[in-house]
Amino acid sequence: MSQGSCIQRTWSGPFLKETTKTNTARYIPLSTRAREIVSKNVQDKLPGAPLFINATTGGYYRPKVLNNAWKQYSGIPVTYYEASRHSFCTQIAQTPGANVFDAQLLMGHSDPRTTQKYYHATPRRLEELVNRRGQVVDLNAKRDGNQKTSQS
């Protein structure tokens, strides 16, 4: 996959594992901005070195550090992991031209039912869908023998 990044490691509790949850390397596309950040941070680093250096420890950012920063600054009563995964899935699924299968691939889920648990339709999104539903048959006009349609 061009312009992608290979995910080969994952945190399992306090340990950094050299394989992913499914024991496979998974390529994911990166946005233009993410590629710029990676390119800047990978300079002069050896393969396998942390991309982002924790100024306190000099090593990897641990999930606990990100969770604590999230709790301190977000003001939202969900974990960083939940917020980021659910938000990402919802944003992808609501992107014009995207569908649940695109979100499933990007989330790395083998079953679309798992992806559905991460997607949250907003009232605004549902209203947009209802307003774009197309033509509606005017039932009163149909009874009179003049079938009319109108945009809703």
pLDDT tens digits, 15-45: 777 777 777 777 778 888 888 988 888 888 8
Q: Cα–Cα distances in Å, from 59 out to 51, 75, 143?
A: 9, 27, 74
Q: Answer yes or no: are the C-beta atoms of 30 and 5 closer than 8 Å.
A: yes
Whole-number mean pLDDT of the chain?
Answer: 80
Q: Answer yes or no: are the C-beta atoms of 60 and 76 closer than 8 Å.
A: no
Q: Answer yes or no: are the C-beta atoms of 2 and 27 closer than 8 Å.
A: no
What would the pLDDT profile of 65-77 be if each residue is shown by its tens digit? Answer: 888 888 999 888 8
Which tokens go with 147? 């079938």
CA dihedral 13, 26, 49, 74 (to 10 degrees): -50
- Residue 143 pLDDT grade (very low, low, confident, very high; cuts 50, 70, 90): low
Instruction: Report whether pLDDT(85) > 70.
Output: yes
pTM of the model: 0.64
Q: How far apart (Å, rounded) are the C-alpha atoms in residues 22 and 24? A: 5
Which tokens go with 104? 């499933």
The closest alpha carbon to 119, from 98, 97, 142, belongs to 98
Q: Answer yes or no: are the C-beta atoms of 80 and 61 closer than 8 Å.
A: no
